Amino acid sequence: MPSRTYTGRDTGRILEPLLQGARERLWVSSPYVGPEYARLLVEKYREGVDVRLITSDSSVNRRAFQVLFTGSRTRLRIIPALLALLGLWSPLLVVWIYEYMNLGDPPGLLVLAAFIIALGVLGPDGVKAALASGVLVGFAAVALLDSESFWGPFINGMVAGGTLYTLVKYLVSEEAPAAPLIPVKVYPARAIVHSKMYIIDGVAVTGSANLTRSGLWRNMETITIHEGPEAEEVASQFLKAWSEGVGDSAAS
């Protein structure tokens, strides 16, 4: 049967019945997925349908990922925090060394250089933000304390500001996705998947429509419906993308 092409703001009129009626396989490649369609994929997988999803690691998919993954777990990044704190406290280490060796007060620029170099080496990420936070607080300390000495308040404020930033950034627990509920390949943001393919039993649909409410019911989209050998050719292209994909998640 020859392929058919449709353009409109209601491609969901064609795609949604196919998705809901899937019995054997439901393979989807879409950069963005709406949470309602993520729930549909999970439901179909639990019904025994061969469900596979190729998508992208994007903030747009945040709500869909909450559906596709079994909740979340918290983690504390202790080691990065300790390394960053060591870099942040390097100015005080320089001061202590000078005092221990009875060398007097260290040059202020030396202390600042130690701070920047140590944090740059030991801070695993967010270095610029920690530096900026520390320097801003350092200048604020100088202005507020109205001290005759510049370097003392500046260094103390710099260390305190950078330390506070690091504690918030690294030691506050963050969410990390747990095991996926369906087989899914998630491409990283640096190399997103852009193709839109839907292989549903013996039918394949290609085009511009994402698996989102906007993609199926709001945006002007074009899709092409394939059947027979053409559908199987699309399915083979999906399997190629699946096998070559850089995603690293799959349901057990």
Q: Which domains are present in the chain?
A: 4-64+177-244 (3.30.870.10), 78-171 (no CATH)
What pLDDT is attached to residue 223? 97
Say if CB 55 and CB 30 are below 8 A apart.
Answer: yes
Distance, in Å, from the CA atom of 90 to the CA atom of 26, rounded to the nearest integer, reads 56
Chunk the chain into consecutive blocks of 10 residues (it has 252) and report each block's average pLDDT, rounded to whole numbers.
91 96 97 95 96 90 86 53 62 66 64 62 54 62 62 66 65 59 86 91 97 96 96 96 66 44
What pLDDT is attached to residue 66? 84
What pLDDT is attached to residue 175? 52
Pairing status of strand 72-75 against strand 203-207: unpaired
Taking alpha carbons only, the member of 57, 17, 34, 14 closest to residue 214 is: 34
Pairing status of strand 72-75 against strand 50-56: unpaired
